[in-house]
Structure 1
Amino acid sequence: MKTQVAIIGAGPSGLLLGHLLKAEGIDCVVLERQTGDYVLGRIRAGVLEQITVQLMERLGLDARLKAEGLVEEGFNLADGERLIRIDVANLTGKTVVVYGQTEITKDLMDAAAPRGLPVIYQAGDVAVHDIESDAPYVTYTKDGKEERIDARFIIGCDGFHGPSRKAIPASVGREYERVYPFGWLGILADVPPCNHELIYANHERGFALASMRSHTRSRYYVDVPLTEKIEDWSDDRIWDELAIRLGPDAAANMTRGPSIEKSIAPLRSYVFEPMRHGSLLLCGDAAHIVPPTGAKGLNLAASDVHYAAEAITAYFKKADNDAIPAYSTKALARVWKAERFSWSLTKLMHRFPDDGPFERAMQVAELDYIANSVAAQTSIAENYVGLPV
């Protein structure tokens, strides 16, 4: 098979890129090692920045997003004594939208066949070849047979553990990483949220987050040591811990119910440079990971896709040979700013095991400063709603 662009990974970033390229008349194929049902079963983020919403609007795939998404004008930081509301809409003139990553993926997946975007599921043993040439190719196995796709460009949207990043020589790449000493234990339940806006809570027992997927489905988190096991956390134990950490006001409005999904996700900050080598470009988790504090993961992937689609379109339709080499620098400039915000909010709202009285005093001082400073709130709001692309 021959195509102009081979995309590895049929999560939201790979599908979004495929749709953007098809809309420009650029041939592409998406490969995914899992089944479509498996991809849709992944429970992920749900807060969308302007860039993600705008890309769905551009594609005309935002009907369900507009109908079901919850427009959020602010969010809250809880310091154990009060809620500090960050009025995002008033401070920036923009909003975010709560709409699950699973729903974005479903919208993109459902539109693939009608719009002629080929997606090959259950593609095993995917490998990339000759990325330093102008004629790279991808091999994979399907139904016991080895297949090959020749392309001009290969785009790795295959996550942290995929083959794309590993194809870049170690002599070329550089990794930056911070592994955090805790994970987020999440519970998803069909219950109304305890607050119409998100609450990030810093409590002496640890961090908690109250969020939602809809008016009737809630997503809650508490941070736990990495040694914890999910089977040791009953639904009742999680609800009890949330009630303590979120505080009495949130607890009074919290509806308990059986979990739909429970999991513990480790936290890390990670960046790989460069995000392009030869004819291979990396997007999303293939190149960077952020802790979920601040909801930047999916949105960073969307901005990568925006830059990648622009560069590839310029190459094929304008004969612009400088666009592809510029992709990595452009994408990384936004990546590092989002990494900074996610890292700083994680440090502010979590109690780290090695922190002492000084570090805690700094958190208290910072939260008090934020509570009384429009400038500080504006800075947080600008980052939360998403920096310009």
Structure 2
Amino acid sequence: MSCNKTNWQENFKEKEKSPFGNYIVYNEAKNLFKTEEVTLLKENFYDYLFHNYSERGDFGTYVCIKNSAYKLTDSGIDNLLEFVKNGNDAFIALNYFNEDLKEKLGFTTNNLDKKANSVAALRDLKGEFYLENDHFTKEVYEFDRNIRRNYFLEYKENSTIVLGVTKIDGEKVPNFIKIYHGKGAFYLHTNPVVFTNYNMLNGKEDYAENVLSYVPNNTLLWDPHIKSSKFENKKNDNTSVFKFFLEHKTLTWFLFVSLAGTLLFMLFNARRKQRPIPIKDPLKNTTVAFTQTIANLYLKEQDHKNLIDKKIAFFLEKVRTKYLIDTGNLNTIFMEKLAAKSGNDSQKTKYLINTIIALNKKPECSEEELIGLYKMIENFFNK
């Protein structure tokens, strides 16, 4: 009765010894990253760079293992990109990546378990991970809980290397990539839970050790992600035009007189001297407006499953009319015929058809799944 109840919440805190804290990986960072110095940031990364960074190429490696890096603002991301571009590196493991970062590095993600947030729902999520390096190709890393089906959907192939994959619905998809940026590189992972205390024990630490071995041996800037930027907030406050006017008495009076004059001008010129002659426009083609109305109706209802079903039906109809292939049975023979006639890669064609089969079976679908299916179909027909 006197024992404390185990905290199974994902907190990713460096001082937390609960199953899903980062206590072990942080305290073993020198051995895991094979580095001599680990600096735990006591201020926001944006502020740290402002006070300490001098654009030296060997400054260090930024490390962030969290659920989401929401305290990295747009300005902070710009500074992080500049930091890596000058010859440094960044290892970032997140469940949810910042949209600005994804846009500027040219990648997208898909999380099939986005709605699984409770301890009970996450407990049943298992996963298999693989590393693409020749030294690890025969190794299968199995994890028994809290493994979201989160993976990279699109990325720039000319600047990206896939370092690791996860098996989802029988297909291997990337969950660990390296993106070259300037003189440095970003190492991105979609499953930060594999670096928590729970998965650093009982023989499961091999995967984390092998993943972190990719990161260059350099001074680590470990971001606990506990503080917002003070400098950026101060800078934004000082740029207010109205605040500058109100700080000076003469400018304040100038502002009030200008506003009053503008209001009087609008009041006395509200009515025109002559009524305008109405213009009778010709009848317009309302097809586009009707289409937009229907689209807005679906957007308001958030019926993603209905849109996915229609998108699948449209895709299969186009396959039947364009390639003259029967779509009654979406088996392996169908996939091979479709890949051959369309000129698409066989593996990507199988992944598209398997995704369609999986979405057909689901009673509900998310917006991310709808967007992912749309992009895969567009890429298929644009081949």
- Fold-level similarity (TM above 0.5): no
TM-score (structure 1 length as normaliser): 0.25
Q: Give the number of the structure whose alpha-carbon radius of gyration is greater.
A: 2
Q: Which has the higher helix share?
A: 2
